[in-house]
Each structure stands twice: as C-alpha cells, then as structure tokens.
C-alpha cells in the first residue's frame, strides 16, 4: 500500500471511531463557535474547508462549529499569524513558509525545488519523519498550534519556453521564498507581486512569468491568456497549505476534540489535495488544447543543472544558526538517503 494511502486510510479509521464516540461526548463538552480565515479567495477557501467544518461539527456532535472566511475578510493576510496568536482569529489557513523570516524552520515546508519527486514523499516527510514536530515547536513561540492540511506542487508559467537551465537567465519573474531563491541562482530576477495585481503585471509585461500553485490555480488566475509555456516537471513538489489554531483555545479542547480537529484536518486536507490534482490535470489539458499553451519538458541533463542550485540552497540552510532548521535539514538529508536520491 502506498504511503499516502496508508496515512489516509488510518485517518478514516480514526474518524469513524471518533464519529461513534463524539455524539455521546458532546453533551459533556463545552461549545465552541470558531472563525477560520484563509489566505485564499472565498470560493477556493470554501471548496475544501467547508468539508472540514462540516466534518468537525459532525464528529464533535455539534460542539465545535467553524465559520470560513476568505483572504482579508477579518484581518489582512500578513497579520494573520499575530491575529491567531492573540485570539483575534481562532484558526488561520496559510501557505507554509509565509513567515519563514520569523519562523526559519518553516522554509523547509515552503517547497524546496527539486527535492521531492511526488506528493506522497512530501506527505510522508511531514507526517512520519519528524518535521511536523519541529514545525510545531517553531510556531509554538507565537502561541499557535499547527495542523498539517494540504500539500501541493509549485509550477512555473512563462512567456518564453524553459527547456534549459540557461533559458531562465535574464527573465523577470514573480516569485518569493524558496522559488525566488532558486530562480535567482539560475540568473532570473524576481519580484513579489500581490495576487490581485498579478494578471495585469503579466499582461503588460512587468514580469514575464510567475508561479502560483500549479496548473489548477494558474488556470483560475487566467495565466493561460497571457503565458503560453508551462514547465514540467513542476520545480517544487511538497509545498503546504496548513492550519494554525490559537494555543489558548487549543488548551481548552478535550483530548477527543483535539483528535477530531487534527485527524479531520489531515484527512480533509489530503482529500482536497487529491481533488486539486484532478483540477490541475483538467486545467492543463484545456490550456494545451484550447489556449495554445505548450508543455516544456527539459532533458534529464538540464534538470540536473536545475537541481544544482537547489542543493546549494539546502547546504546554506543546513548551516543556519537556527537549531530547528538545522534539525529539519538533517531529517530531510537522511530521508533523501533512504529514498536513494543522495549518497
């Protein structure tokens, strides 16, 4: 049985057990009405999180009710970590690594280019190899508790084709975090542009390419109208959308409620990830067949050239002064050796 299927199957079994016990426990438990704000637009946020809210309510016997809000509905996205820590928001959905300058260990969960070969490997690293515990330790300093949710890939669309590493040299691209670090080492210049301004920036030539999730989210953003090249494989596999819960609130939950919140979050997140894979496949197919988008697949020799700057970034992070990041990079290096990707 594949690793991801094992994790999901285990989660479903726990959900069934919790479902049988939750109704009998609900009468003895405190009631919670919680607000969850996502970094995604309302429709995208509710696509997966409504299922999470419904499952938590059902499993808790109605003791925990969660209302979903899209990006900026209550507080600006950049302020959501502080808002969750102070209790202004009960739960926040966020892209992992968004605050990596404050929480360095989260850099690893942002999605490092050319590390994982598929999402199954990324899930296993998060859930089974000890990275989640380090991530939680890093976020605990900000009075929040992390629940892993949805892993995804980071693609790259450009006006000019990328078939060789040197094709990226001189391009001006919208990127941030690990992708910006990697692209910079390959000679591209990068700039951070908010999502609401990105289409205009692409259409007017302010930048000649961008990453925004992979094909599905890019399709929703209408990248295919102005960008006609999509790179395969996606440069980074294993970025995450995660949840943080106010730590004071977390302490008020019973052990059963904590198990419901976590297990349901992981299970619903993996279901959302699987749905997103289907959406991405359908979206890329439509881009190619109806919008003249070309899929560019560099040769293995060129992919090796692209992996080299990623290894340099990993070595740099492994030498950082942050002890949690050092431990995380050690876990990652050992995992890569187990998989046979490194000696």
Q: DSSP code of 30?
A: P
Helix (H) or strand (E) holding 6: helix 3-26
How would you classify the pairing of strands 32-37 and 64-69?
Answer: parallel
Instruction: Report the Cα 282 to chain-centroid distance in Å.
Output: 20
pLDDT tens-digit map of 292-330: 999 999 999 999 999 999 999 999 999 999 999 999 999
- The pLDDT value recorded for residue 12 is 53
Residue 109 backbone dihedrals phi, psi, to 5 degrees: -85, 0
- Please list the helix, strand and coil fractions of the chain in percent, rounded to the nearest 5, in that order: 55, 15, 30
For 97-166, give the DSSP string. TTTTTTSGGGGGGG--TTS-SSHHHHHHHHHHSSHHHHHHHHHHTTTEEEEEEEEEEE--EESS---SGG
- Burial (CB < 10 A; 0-12, 13-18, 19+), residue 331, is middle
3 contacts 123 by C-beta, under 8 angstroms: yes
- Burial (CB < 10 A; 0-12, 13-18, 19+), residue 174, is buried
- What is the number of other CB atoms lying within 10 angstroms of the CB of residue 249? 18
- The pLDDT value recorded for residue 195 is 81
Beta bridge partners of 244: 92, 146
Regions of the chain where pLDDT drops below 50: 1-11, 13-14, 17-18, 20-26
For 250-304, give the DSSP string. HHHS-HHHHHHHHHHHHHHHHHHHHHHHHHHHHHHHHHHHHS--EEE---HHHHH
Write down the number of H helices and E strands in the chain: 12, 11
The position carrying tokens 């700057």 is 309
Instruction: Determine the straight-line distance between the first and last CA of the chain, rounded to whole angstroms.
Output: 26
- The pLDDT value recorded for residue 41 is 83
- The pLDDT value recorded for residue 28 is 63
329 contacts 314 by C-beta, under 8 angstroms: yes
172 contacts 207 by C-beta, under 8 angstroms: yes
Residues 225, 219: Cα–Cα separation, whole Å? 9
- The pLDDT value recorded for residue 10 is 41
How would you classify the pairing of strands 189-191 and 172-174?
Answer: parallel
User: Which domains, from first to last, does the chain contain?
Assistant: 3-153+237-278 (3.40.190.170)
Residues 321, 341: Cα–Cα separation, whole Å? 26
Alpha-carbon torsion angle 129, 130, 136, 137, nearest 10: -160
The position carrying tokens 């890019």 is 218
Instruction: Report the Cα 72 to chain-centroid distance in Å.
Output: 19
């Amino acid at each position: 049985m594949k690793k991801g299927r094992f994790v999901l199957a285990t989660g479903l079994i726990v959900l069934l057990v919790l479902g049988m016990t939750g109704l009998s426990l609900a009468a003895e438990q405190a009631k919670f009405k919680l607000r969850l704000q996502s970094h995604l637009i309302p429709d995208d946020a509710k696509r997966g999180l409504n299922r999470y809210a419904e499952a938590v309510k059902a499993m808790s016997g109605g003791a925990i009710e969660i209302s979903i809000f899209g990006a900026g509905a209550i507080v600006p996205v950049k302020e959501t970590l502080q808002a969750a820590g102070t209790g202004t928001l009960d739960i926040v959905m966020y892209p992992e690594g968004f605050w990596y300058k404050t929480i360095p260990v989260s850099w690893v969960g942002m999605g490092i280019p050319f590390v994982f070969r598929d999402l199954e490997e990324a899930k296993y690293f998060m859930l089974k190899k000890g990275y989640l515990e380090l991530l939680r330790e890093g976020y605990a300093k900000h009075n929040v508790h992390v629940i892993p949710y949805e892993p995804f890939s980071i693609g790259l669309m450009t006006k000019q084709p990328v078939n060789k590493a040197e094709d990226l040299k001189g391009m001006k691209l919208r990127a941030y975090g690990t992708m910006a670090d990697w692209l910079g080492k390959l000679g591209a210049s990068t700039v951070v542009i908010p999502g609401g301004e990105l289409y205009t920036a692409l259409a007017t030539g302010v930048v000649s390419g961008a990453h925004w999730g992979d094909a599905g989210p890019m399709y929703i953003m209408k990248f295919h109208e102005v960008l006609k090249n999509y790179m395969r494989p996606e440069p980074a596999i294993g970025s995450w959308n995660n949840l943080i819960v106010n730590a004071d609130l977390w302490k008020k939950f019973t052990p059963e409620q904590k198990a419901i919140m976590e297990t349901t979050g992981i299970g619903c997140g993996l279901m959302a990830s699987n749905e997103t894979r289907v959406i991405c496949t359908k979206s890329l197919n439509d881009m190619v067949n109806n919008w003249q988008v070309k899929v560019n697949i560099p040769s293995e020799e060129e992919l090796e050239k692209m992996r080299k700057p990623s290894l340099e970034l990993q070595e740099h992070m492994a030498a950082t002064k942050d002890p949690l990041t050092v431990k995380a990079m050690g876990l990652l290096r050992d995992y890569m050796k187990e998989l046979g990707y490194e000696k």
